Homo-oligomer: A and B are copies of this chain.
Amino acid sequence: MSYIRPNFRHPELPANEKGYTKRHYEGAISTLCAGCGHDSVSGAIIQSCYEMAIEPHRIAKISGIGCSSKTPTYFLGNSHGFNSVHGRMPSVATGANLANRNMIYIGVSGDGDSASIGLGQFAHVARRNLNMLYLVENNGCYGLTKGQDSATADVGSASKKGEPNPYEPIDLCALALQAGASFVARSFSGDKEQLVPLIKAAIAHTGFAFIDVISPCVTFNNTASSTKGYEFARSHIEATGKIDFVPLRKEITADYAPGFSQEITLHDGSVIHLYKQEELDCHDRNGALAAIQDYAGRGQILTGLLYIDPDTRDFHDNQNTTKKPLVDLGQSELCPGNRALKAINASLR
């Protein structure tokens, strides 16, 4: 494959050392709700790839189905992408990666996509330590189907129906750690400060890199327990029984230093507490698990890089596949030819 350097330049925009401006990493205009956390994540991905000066065509974007899974259309418009089926992104990514180990794989999913229908594939792709960035845009609900609780919804949090959710949330970071992921982190959609470096580290990592990004749904994380927010609209919705009114909101941002915790108020007024870890030993799998549960016990969500094993064997290493991508092998390298076949025939008489 000939990697020709693009010769176009935007005069005004600064180009990275590969000659690409930020615009080369952007995608189509988002059709998500104004202020949706997912759009912030798309921005962070764009910035990360720009700063890392990755040639866009060397990236493959893959997703399932959901608002979150739609986002690959809204970033990296010069990279091939595959919007597959609900909950099955991991298997598509696995096949693609087996076929061409030279590409950089960015998988985007949602909490419904990964913690419900896709839970099995999520755990097994982590276990195989597939070399990819697996990013979940976690809003605790099914956005695209209008706000049902997902398996990551917090106990007691009220869904759009106003009913408290009685079930323990599934912690995807803990699950990834258990399944054998070699890079596990958590962040918040509005915290570019933290998110961008994590994404860059995850892309640089060889092996399965998982980032659980808390990404509020401005439309359906709108609960009856809301203090401020928009009662007027809400009672309108309750009265008409139609969720047809989505006021424009601004994205929620967070900016806080390591070692501190920050209280974040969501659009519905509900509050989450983030704690940005500073000196957690990132090389201790069990320690990371304990830490997560620790902070959860204190009602805090631990963010940052939770675990990394910089030198693991990825799926290809375990398979002993050729360094040359399988897609690049020609017929001469693949077809054993007639001589071998004659020998096989002989052995079958």
- Alpha-carbon separation in the docked complex, A144 to B166 (Å): 38
Chain A, interface size category, equals 20 to 34
Residues from chain B with a CB closer than 8 A to the CB of A171 are 178
CB-CB < 8 A to A145: which residues of B? none
* Minimum Cβ distance to chain B for residue A172 (Å): 11
Asked whether A128 and B313 contact (CB < 8 A) given A178-B178, A290-B286, the answer is no
Interface string of A215-247 (1 = CB under 8 A from B): 000000000000000000000000000000000
Q: Does A120 contact B (CB under 8 A)?
A: yes
Q: Which residues of B have CB within 8 Å of A178? A: 170-171, 174-175, 178
**Is A101 on the interface with B (CB-CB < 8 A)?**
no
Contact in complex: A313, B166 (CB < 8 Å): yes
Complex: A297 Cα to B7 Cα, angstroms: 55
* Contact indicator per residue, chain A 159-193, by CB within 8 Å of chain B (1) or not (0): 00000001110110011001110000000000000
On whether the beta carbons of A170 and B128 are closer than 8 Å, the reply is no
Complex formed: what's the CA distance from A168 to B177 in Å? 11
- Which of A116, A167, A293 gathers the greatest number of chain B CB atoms within 10 Å? A167
Complex CA–CA separation, A127 to B179 (angstroms): 18
Instruction: Flag if B151 contacts A167 (CB, 8 Å).
Output: no
Please measure, in the bound complex, the distance between the C-alpha atom of A170 and the C-alpha atom of B179, giving whole angstroms. 6
Residues of B within 8 A of A170 (CB): 123, 127, 178-179
> Across the two chains, which residue of chain B brings its CB closest to A294?
B286
Interface string of A183-210 (1 = CB under 8 A from B): 0000000000000000000000000000
- Name the residue of chain B whose CB is nearest to the CB of A180: B168
Knowing A119-B119, A175-B178, A289-B289 touch, does A318 contact B124 (C-beta < 8 A)? no
Bound CA–CA A170/B180 (angstroms): 9
Q: Are A123 and B127 in contact (CB under 8 A)?
A: no
Q: Which residues from 92 to 125 on chain A have a C-beta closer than 8 Å to any C-beta of chain B?
A: 116-120, 123-124
User: How distant is the Cα of A118 from the Cα of B128 in the complex, in angstroms?
Assistant: 17
Whole-angstrom distance between the Cβ of A131 and the nearest chain B Cβ? 15
A335 to B293, CA, bound (A): 47
Question: Across the interface, which residues of B come within 8 angstroms of A127, CB to CB?
Answer: 151, 167-168, 170
If A167-B318, A170-B178 are given as contacts, then 20 extra A-B residue pairs at C-beta distance below 8 Å, sorted by A number, are: A116-B124, A117-B120, A118-B120, A119-B119, A119-B120, A119-B123, A120-B120, A124-B151, A127-B167, A127-B168, A127-B170, A128-B167, A166-B313, A166-B318, A168-B180, A170-B179, A174-B178, A178-B178, A289-B289, A289-B293
Interface residues of A (CB under 8 A from B): 116-120, 123-124, 127-128, 151, 166-168, 170-171, 174-175, 178-180, 286, 289-290, 293, 313, 318
